[in-house]
Structure 1
């Protein structure tokens, strides 16, 4: 499968290349990347930029959501650095970027309550920016007490080129600094390649010691950074942003069955769980949805039954809700229907299931 990344990852490249004596738009055109997908362009003659196939590009608010191949982005950076004799190109581009390059993920990250919550959110949804990238908290590679590592890496078998790593770790560093409101106690930065520019350039950028030819790209930070509060966040806005990410972007490898199950869990008890309504949520035709489920060896009715069973078991054993309310919350019309399916699912009535759950809780 071809690995993709949002074109916004190269935000600022066109003017940067121009400032260095090159032609940023021509560079992107050589790699068949629409200039408006990377940096919104303004043509004094009023002409809209053209896509790779010659059609007018959309340089409106959605232009930054254009996807390009990760390998193409890496080759563009390496080509620009070589042709412009600019070994610190990745760092220069990182200096111009911040959380906004993450697109919709930035809203969820910036409205987190703590730095740890923001990092976990980025780790969970980074696939929206690029399925090939990952960030995560790891043990300190130096083994120092009170220190943890923030790993920036790729899920691809071939590592990204050095300029792309400099850009990626550099942007990661800047995002953490923005979220933390300034210097965040960075102890040192690790890079997996030799220095591309004078070491002083790296230490000036990161503001600390930089160690090269290490196993991975890592920011070494105080462990307490995870619990550090972020100011100005809005939990309601964050919840809306996460709901948007969950419902509009599919994690790589996620099956249609998984998507249907998630949609049913969210909508159960709000109305009759029917194929057309779930298909509409998933933005596909009902027949297409059924074909996908069949290809995955299941049916809508089977997934619905499993969701109802799991939800009913949780409500029966972990709450004291009246069975009439449980009936409504799993989308059944009558309490007698709950009794019938409970016997089929669990071999006994809801009341017996609740008693058994209470006994196991005491044991």
Structure 2
């Protein structure tokens, strides 16, 4: 396996929690934009110290995942999202800890989210902060996508892996929700807790680590990785936010987003991953969301070498694979979530994608 070294030169630290950063430090974000399938280390930087907590030298494990251990000296370095999955798979095996991702995520803070975390700290309200995370995480993570939905008096923050055949999607989800709760506690106060937490993974034998960190009921075998909390909390003012710093951070982030280039098919994948389990994901729906004609959407995707239907099926396969591998959600429920009127139609589609029935895939996935 080829060792992946630093892809971007180390940039100025975004700041340390125990120090007061200067304005240039606050604004020091990534120097280059991310290609699809890559992430800034950020939260993943905590994997190394978590391994050390188990008495394991992280460097050999990191090398076995195909990464250069020196990357972990700086959270702004970038790695392939697939390498993160491999590293988590190896970490779970080495530690024999099924909730390793949770442990790594709970070590991370709002500052682990880099310049986006800084913007959250300087947002006017908690709702503004969460919307800033949803809107801008793509400059730091092109392997997963967050979303925020409001239903009546309930808010739902969801984190979804969308890279094809991502290893350890369950560990990534655990860690992502763990740091999201830490970020919300940084904004709302250390006593804040969600109403409940939903995880797309089979229930572990020991659920206490989850209850201890989230301080809320945790429901396993769910279709999504979500934090549920009262929507009224979104109206809370963020203490210590600075409008001038916020404006400068927003300007810097827009510069980075503007330089990301035309990875249009990846943008569509991100949109579909958050909407495919709803009734608003047809090509016409997506075109309307992007304020473009349906034919323009088709043309731009065709220029990139893929059609809308192929991308949608790729995302359906990825969602199905994650749920079949990591959860015990019944086939009929997975089929309904993906928009199939009956399980037999889902089974036929899944066989086309994989050459296997969903049941066989699930059995082999558990053995693997």
TM-score (norm 2): 0.58
CA 1:71–1:251: 2 relative to 1, 3 Å:
farther
**Is the counterpart of residue 84 in structure 1 residue 79 in structure 2?**
no
Q: Report the equivalent of 2:50.
A: 16
Distance 2:164 2:65 in 1: 23
Instruction: Tell me the equivalent position of 2:122.
Output: 111
| Residue pair 1:78, 1:161 contacting (<8 A) in 2 also | no
1:191 Cα offset (Å): 0.3
Q: Distance in 1 between matches of 2:171 and 2:148?
A: 23
Deviation of 1:253 after TM superposition, in Å, equals 5.8
Query: 2:156 aligns to what?
Result: 149
Cα distance between partner residues in 2 of 1:161 and 1:136: 17
Measured after TM superposition, the shift of residue 34 of structure 1 is 2.4
Deviation per CA, 1:292-343: give whole Å up to 9, x if none. xxx99xxxxxxxxxxxxxxxxxxxxxxxxxxxxxxxxxxxxxxxxxxxxxxx
Q: How does 1:1-363 map to 2 (within 5 A)?
A: 2-39=36-73, 64-139=75-150, 146-158=153-165, 161-196=169-204, 198-250=206-258, 254=262
Q: Which gives a bigger RCO, structure 1 or 2 (Cα 8 Å, sep 6+)?
A: 2
Larger radius of gyration: 1
3-state secondary structure, aligned to 1:246: helix
1:104-161 C-alpha deviation (Å, 9 max, x unpaired): 2122111000001001111111001102222221245xxxx52221111123354652
Gaps of 5+ in 2: 1-34, 265-302, 305-368
Partner in structure 1 of residue 5 of structure 2: none
- Give how far 1:10 is off: 1.3
Structure-2 change in CA distance of 1:197 and 1:169 (3 Å): farther
- Displacement after TM superposition at 1:248 (Å): 2.7
Secondary structure of 1:11 counterpart = helix
Aligned counterparts of 1:250 and 1:131: Cα–Cα separation in 2: 15
Residue 93 (structure 1) shift = 0.9
Taking the aligned partners of 1:196 and 1:251, their CA distance within structure 2 comes to 42
Q: Is the 8 A contact 1:4 1:68 kept in 2?
A: yes
Q: Residues 178 and 75 from structure 1, CA distance in 2 versus in 1: closer, same or farther, beyond 3 angstroms?
A: same
Q: Does the 8 A contact of 1:12 with 1:93 survive in 2?
A: yes
Aligned CA RMSD, in angstroms, stands at 2.4
Shift of 1:169: 1.1
Query: CA–CA distance in 2 between the matches of 1:197 and 1:68?
Result: 32
| 1:341 aligned partner | none
Distance in 2 between residues matched to 1:31 and 1:243, nearest whole Å = 36
Gaps of 5+ in 1: 41-63, 257-294, 297-363
3-state SS, counterpart of residue 152 of structure 1: strand
Shift, 1:38, TM fit:
1.8
SS at match of 2:116: helix
Partner SS state of residue 95, structure 1: helix
What is the rounded CA distance, in whole Å, between the counterparts of 1:172 and 1:86 in structure 2? 21
